[in-house]
Protein backbone atom coordinates (compact mmCIF):
# COMPACT_ATOMS: atom_id res chain seq x y z
CA UNK A 1 0.00 0.00 0.00
CA UNK A 2 2.13 2.80 -1.36
CA UNK A 3 -0.04 5.56 0.11
CA UNK A 4 1.10 4.47 3.58
CA UNK A 5 4.75 4.66 2.54
CA UNK A 6 4.29 8.22 1.24
CA UNK A 7 3.12 9.42 4.67
CA UNK A 8 5.32 7.21 6.88
CA UNK A 9 7.14 10.10 8.56
CA UNK A 10 3.84 11.82 9.40
CA UNK A 11 2.44 8.59 10.84
CA UNK A 12 5.50 8.13 13.03
CA UNK A 13 5.60 11.74 14.26
CA UNK A 14 2.20 13.28 15.09
CA UNK A 15 3.86 16.66 15.73
CA UNK A 16 4.40 16.87 11.97
CA UNK A 17 0.63 16.58 11.52
CA UNK A 18 -0.25 18.99 14.35
CA UNK A 19 2.58 21.11 15.73
CA UNK A 20 2.41 21.25 19.52
CA UNK A 21 0.37 18.05 19.85
CA UNK A 22 0.25 16.91 23.48
CA UNK A 23 -2.38 14.15 23.41
CA UNK A 24 -4.10 11.76 21.05
CA UNK A 25 -7.75 10.94 21.69
CA UNK A 26 -8.84 7.65 20.12
CA UNK A 27 -12.47 6.62 19.87
CA UNK A 28 -14.07 3.33 18.85
CA UNK A 29 -17.48 3.19 17.17
CA UNK A 30 -19.25 -0.18 17.12
CA UNK A 31 -20.49 -1.39 13.74
CA UNK A 32 -21.55 -4.92 14.64
CA UNK A 33 -24.90 -5.81 13.15
CA UNK A 34 -27.10 -8.80 13.82
CA UNK A 35 -26.94 -10.04 10.25
CA UNK A 36 -24.07 -12.47 9.89
CA UNK A 37 -24.24 -12.40 6.11
CA UNK A 38 -25.38 -9.84 3.62
CA UNK A 39 -28.93 -10.76 2.62
CA UNK A 40 -28.06 -10.11 -1.03
CA UNK A 41 -25.13 -12.54 -0.89
CA UNK A 42 -26.58 -15.17 -3.22
CA UNK A 43 -27.33 -12.65 -5.95
CA UNK A 44 -24.66 -9.97 -5.80
CA UNK A 45 -21.79 -11.37 -3.81
CA UNK A 46 -20.64 -10.88 -0.28
CA UNK A 47 -19.82 -7.43 1.12
CA UNK A 48 -17.80 -6.91 4.32
CA UNK A 49 -19.99 -5.97 7.25
CA UNK A 50 -18.38 -2.54 7.75
CA UNK A 51 -19.37 -1.49 4.23
CA UNK A 52 -23.06 -2.35 4.52
CA UNK A 53 -25.30 0.66 4.98
CA UNK A 54 -24.33 4.32 5.03
CA UNK A 55 -20.75 5.52 4.75
CA UNK A 56 -19.28 5.49 8.26
CA UNK A 57 -17.29 8.69 7.58
CA UNK A 58 -20.61 10.56 7.25
CA UNK A 59 -21.86 9.69 10.73
CA UNK A 60 -18.62 9.53 12.71
CA UNK A 61 -17.07 12.78 11.41
CA UNK A 62 -19.80 15.11 12.80
CA UNK A 63 -19.64 13.41 16.21
CA UNK A 64 -15.89 13.70 16.20
CA UNK A 65 -16.15 17.37 15.26
CA UNK A 66 -18.48 18.00 18.22
CA UNK A 67 -15.83 16.65 20.57
CA UNK A 68 -13.07 18.59 18.80
CA UNK A 69 -15.16 21.77 19.18
CA UNK A 70 -15.37 21.17 22.94
CA UNK A 71 -11.59 20.92 23.07
CA UNK A 72 -11.34 24.12 21.00
CA UNK A 73 -13.55 25.85 23.56
CA UNK A 74 -10.83 25.04 26.09
CA UNK A 75 -8.46 27.09 23.94
CA UNK A 76 -6.70 24.21 22.25
CA UNK A 77 -6.00 23.25 18.65
CA UNK A 78 -7.13 19.95 17.14
CA UNK A 79 -7.02 17.87 13.99
CA UNK A 80 -9.55 15.07 13.60
CA UNK A 81 -9.38 11.96 11.43
CA UNK A 82 -11.85 9.23 10.56
CA UNK A 83 -9.74 6.72 8.64
CA UNK A 84 -8.60 9.62 6.52
CA UNK A 85 -5.26 10.98 7.64
CA UNK A 86 -1.64 10.14 8.33
CA UNK A 87 -2.18 8.71 11.81
CA UNK A 88 -1.68 5.19 13.16
CA UNK A 89 -5.18 4.71 14.55
CA UNK A 90 -4.73 1.03 15.35
CA UNK A 91 -1.42 1.53 17.16
CA UNK A 92 -2.72 4.51 19.14
CA UNK A 93 -5.84 2.51 20.07
CA UNK A 94 -3.60 -0.22 21.48
CA UNK A 95 -1.40 2.30 23.32
CA UNK A 96 -4.38 3.94 25.04
CA UNK A 97 -6.25 0.81 26.10
CA UNK A 98 -9.07 0.63 23.53
CA UNK A 99 -7.83 -2.59 21.97
CA UNK A 100 -4.93 -4.94 21.59
CA UNK A 101 -3.30 -6.22 18.43
CA UNK A 102 -4.71 -9.58 17.44
CA UNK A 103 -2.64 -12.15 15.57
CA UNK A 104 -4.55 -11.11 12.44
CA UNK A 105 -3.08 -7.60 12.97
CA UNK A 106 -6.60 -6.29 13.61
CA UNK A 107 -7.41 -4.46 16.82
CA UNK A 108 -9.56 -6.40 19.29
CA UNK A 109 -11.72 -4.61 21.86
CA UNK A 110 -12.65 -6.49 25.06
CA UNK A 111 -16.42 -6.14 24.41
CA UNK A 112 -16.73 -5.13 20.75
CA UNK A 113 -14.34 -7.75 19.42
CA UNK A 114 -13.07 -6.65 16.00
CA UNK A 115 -16.27 -4.84 14.97
CA UNK A 116 -15.38 -1.17 15.40
CA UNK A 117 -14.19 1.88 13.50
CA UNK A 118 -11.44 4.03 14.94
CA UNK A 119 -11.29 7.79 14.86
CA UNK A 120 -8.60 10.10 16.24
CA UNK A 121 -8.27 13.63 17.51
CA UNK A 122 -4.80 15.10 17.81
CA UNK A 123 -4.89 17.92 20.35
CA UNK A 124 -2.59 20.45 21.95
CA UNK A 125 -4.43 19.80 25.23
CA UNK A 126 -2.51 17.65 27.71
CA UNK A 127 -4.69 14.75 28.86
CA UNK A 128 -4.05 11.90 31.26
CA UNK A 129 -2.88 8.74 29.53
CA UNK A 130 -4.86 5.51 29.79
CA UNK A 131 -3.08 2.20 30.20
CA UNK A 132 -2.62 -0.23 27.33
CA UNK A 133 -4.45 -3.56 27.33
CA UNK A 134 -2.35 -6.69 27.45
CA UNK A 135 -2.96 -8.93 24.45
CA UNK A 136 -5.40 -11.75 25.15
CA UNK A 137 -4.97 -14.02 22.14
CA UNK A 138 -2.85 -16.56 23.97
CA UNK A 139 -2.44 -19.73 21.93
CA UNK A 140 -5.51 -19.06 19.80
CA UNK A 141 -4.86 -19.28 16.05
CA UNK A 142 -8.46 -19.12 14.76
CA UNK A 143 -7.98 -15.90 12.77
CA UNK A 144 -4.91 -17.32 11.06
CA UNK A 145 -6.67 -20.58 10.26
CA UNK A 146 -9.75 -18.74 8.95
CA UNK A 147 -7.93 -16.65 6.33
CA UNK A 148 -8.91 -18.07 2.92
CA UNK A 149 -5.81 -16.75 1.13
CA UNK A 150 -3.32 -17.39 3.96
CA UNK A 151 -2.58 -13.66 4.08
CA UNK A 152 -1.82 -13.89 7.81
CA UNK A 153 1.60 -15.41 7.24
CA UNK A 154 2.54 -15.62 10.94
CA UNK A 155 1.11 -14.29 14.18
CA UNK A 156 0.98 -10.47 13.89
CA UNK A 157 2.23 -10.52 10.27
CA UNK A 158 -0.03 -9.83 7.30
CA UNK A 159 0.86 -10.05 3.63
CA UNK A 160 -1.51 -7.32 2.43
CA UNK A 161 -1.03 -8.41 -1.18
CA UNK A 162 -2.85 -11.67 -0.35
CA UNK A 163 -5.60 -10.15 1.85
CA UNK A 164 -9.06 -10.28 0.26
CA UNK A 165 -9.93 -6.86 1.69
CA UNK A 166 -6.88 -5.39 0.00
CA UNK A 167 -7.48 -7.30 -3.23
CA UNK A 168 -11.13 -6.21 -3.54
CA UNK A 169 -10.86 -2.64 -2.21
CA UNK A 170 -7.35 -1.14 -2.42
CA UNK A 171 -5.80 -3.13 -5.27
CA UNK A 172 -5.90 -1.25 -8.58
CA UNK A 173 -4.93 -4.19 -10.77
CA UNK A 174 -6.28 -7.65 -11.47
CA UNK A 175 -6.55 -10.18 -8.65
CA UNK A 176 -3.85 -12.84 -9.09
CA UNK A 177 -5.26 -15.98 -10.70
CA UNK A 178 -4.05 -18.28 -7.92
CA UNK A 179 -5.97 -16.27 -5.27
CA UNK A 180 -9.27 -15.95 -7.14
CA UNK A 181 -10.77 -19.29 -6.04
CA UNK A 182 -10.32 -18.33 -2.36
CA UNK A 183 -12.51 -15.24 -2.82
CA UNK A 184 -15.67 -17.28 -3.30
CA UNK A 185 -18.60 -14.84 -3.38
CA UNK A 186 -16.64 -11.99 -1.74
CA UNK A 187 -16.73 -8.85 -3.88
CA UNK A 188 -15.89 -6.10 -1.36
CA UNK A 189 -13.78 -6.94 1.65
CA UNK A 190 -13.69 -10.01 3.87
CA UNK A 191 -14.85 -10.73 7.41
CA UNK A 192 -13.38 -14.21 7.88
CA UNK A 193 -10.60 -13.33 10.34
CA UNK A 194 -12.97 -10.92 12.11
CA UNK A 195 -15.65 -13.61 12.46
CA UNK A 196 -13.06 -16.03 13.86
Residue ranges of domains in the chain: 2-128+135-195
Average pLDDT of the segment spanning 67-88: 92
Q: What is the pTM of this model?
A: 0.89
- Does residue 76 have a pLDDT over 80? yes
Average pLDDT of the segment spanning 68-95: 92
Task: Quote the pLDDT of residue 42.
Answer: 52
SS (H, E, C) the chain: CHHHHHCHHHHHCHHHHCCCCCEEEEEEEECCCCCCCCCCHHHHCEECHHHCCCCHHHHHHHHHHHHHHHHHHCCCCEEEECCCCCCCHHHHHHHCCCCEECCCCCEEECCCECCEEEEEEEECCCCCCCCCCCCCCCCCCHHHHHCCCCCEEECCEECHHHCHHHHHHHCCCCCCHHHHHHHCCEEECCCHHHHC
- Does residue 99 have a pLDDT over 80? yes
Task: Quote the pLDDT of residue 159.
Answer: 97
Residue-wise pLDDT for 132-170, tens only, equals 999 999 999 999 999 999 999 999 999 999 999 999 999
Residue-wise pLDDT for 13-27, tens only, equals 899 999 999 999 999
Which residues have a catalytic role annotated? 83
Amino acid sequence: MQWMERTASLRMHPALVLPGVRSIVVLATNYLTDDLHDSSESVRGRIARYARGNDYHDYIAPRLQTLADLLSDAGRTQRSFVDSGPVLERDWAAACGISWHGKSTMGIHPRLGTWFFLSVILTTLELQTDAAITGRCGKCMRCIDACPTHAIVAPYRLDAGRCISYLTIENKGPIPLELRPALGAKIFGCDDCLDA
